Structure formats: C-alpha cells, structure tokens
Amino acid sequence: MTWERIREHKDVLCFCLVNDTGDERFKNRGSMRYVPVPEIIRPMLIKREQGRMFTYRIDRDGKAQAAASDALMPLIRKITTPKADM
C-alpha cells in the first residue's frame, strides 16, 4: 500500500485497490476494489506522504502479504472474538 493509493472515490475517502496506473500488482481481478477508510483511522492519514506506507519486507512476488500478516495477526486476534458455535 502506498500513500498515493489513498483517494476520494464517489466523495468517500478510500484505499484504492484498483489497477488504474497499470503498474500495480493484485492477486486477481476480484481483489481490485475501493475500501472505505474507517473514521477511527482518518486522523492517522491527515499527513500524507509518498511511497510505501509500511516497511514490511517485500516477497519475490513484489508483495508484503506474508510479512505483514505475520506481524499484524497477533494484534488482530486480540481485538476479534471467535464466532459462537452454531
């Protein structure tokens, strides 16, 4: 994710996951979308910079998914609750 990918889309601030420049890499067509920025993190995005937002190492395929997931999943698990048994 780069700072340049934070954009207004239909008057909503979003993370732009659409290959509109021709140089972006995405898993597949279905993963291309606009993701609205949650209100709680908007203040963190006021000071816009340039380039990569995060410093996770980049894999051979040019993505940081594995490294980012390894670093963030323990934090995500702390704030999510398991689904109740059905």
Q: What's the pLDDT tens digit per position in 20-31?
A: 666 666 656 667
Please state the pTM of the whole predicted model.
0.59
For the record, the structure tokens of 7 come out as 């954009």
- The answer to whether 8 touches 14, Cβ cutoff 8 Å, is yes
Alpha-carbon distance 50 to 4, whole Å?
A: 7
Which of 14-18, 41-45, 46-50, 78-82 comes out lowest in average pLDDT?
78-82
Q: What angle do CA 4, 5, 11 make, to 5 degrees?
A: 110
What Å distances lie between residue 68 and 1, 62, 78, CA to CA? 11, 13, 16
Sheet with 6-9, strands from edge to edge, namely 6-9, 12-17, 33-36
